[in-house]
Amino acid sequence: MSIQITPLTGSVGASVEGVNLNEPIDKPTFDVLHRAFLEHGVLVYRKQYLQPAAHVAFAGLWGNPAQNNPLSPSVPGFPGLIQVTKIPKETASTEAWHSDSIYTPVPPKISILSAVVVPRGGDTMWCNQYQSYDRLSPTLQQMIQGLRARFEGLRLARMRGAGEVPSAVHPIVRTHPETGRKALYVGHPDTAHSIEGMTLAESRPLLDFLYEHSTTPDNVYRHMWQQGDVVMWDNRCTMHYAVHDYGEAERVLNRITLEGDTPR
């Protein structure tokens, strides 16, 4: 069966058929997947039921696993493979549009999730940050070029009861190191704190506008998880939002996150 890549929306995401991720991936197959990934930002593989060893092997084709927080539980025998389990809604740090670990000096580039236990609900949404930038007026594009924002892990610190809030400064327009395209790099008000050289009062309206502008419905793919799904996304040109609408039901996904590069 040949590989079939089918766009899921007009803006972001594509489904992949004709690939078994539990088997070794040869170079021609990887090249097809790589091109599709760079084009669509999110790839969805249904009915994979990905085994931990195969998950690790597939991730290794894309890069090196990032160091995970020691508080995050891993799959036994696979220290780089983290189990994402249900988190109380009131402390969930991912129920907002965000790029993973944007508040660190070198955020990860790719995450790969495999659905093990799926509740009713618990969808995840992604938006295309290339398109968010391209839709800005040329005047605003020129105005924000070169601006840098301070990002803070306030929600993560609250969730883990940590006293110290991690932070980092990055450009709010970043250039993808592989495609050369420009993407908006912003976040929720709890994360995108302020713009360098501006007061909070000056920063907030601009950051809020860019955040809301990025997440209009026509720029979003919403994934309804099924057991066995594998979804991977490009953290350098997308944001995502994990919907917590499943109460106390069990939800387990295995995740590998890959080392990235300093945003430029």
Distance, in Å, from the CA atom of 213 to the CA atom of 219, rounded to the nearest integer, reads 9
Distance, in Å, from the CA atom of 100 to the CA atom of 236, rounded to the nearest integer, reads 9
Residue 259 identity (one-letter amino acid): E
Of the candidates 102, 109, 13, the one whose C-alpha atom is nearest the C-alpha of residue 63 is 109
SS3 17: strand
Q: Which two tokens stand for residue 230?
A: 């594998």
Query: For residue 84, what pLDDT is reported?
Result: 87
Q: Which two tokens stand for residue 187?
A: 């976040």
Query: For residue 160, what pLDDT is reported?
Result: 61
Q: Is the pLDDT of residue 68 over 90?
A: no
Q: Is the pLDDT of residue 236 over 80?
A: yes
Look up the pTM and report it: 0.94
Query: For residue 200, what pLDDT is reported?
Result: 95
Q: Which two tokens stand for residue 204?
A: 């907030």
CA atoms within 13 Å, Cβ hemisphere of 119: 16
pLDDT digits (tens, 9 = 90+) for 141-184: 999 999 999 999 876 666 665 567 889 999 999 999 999 999 99
Distance, in Å, from the CA atom of 4 to the CA atom of 261, rounded to the nearest integer, reads 30
* Residue 8, number of CB atoms within 10 A of its CB: 17
β-bridge mates for residue 125, sequence order: 222, 241
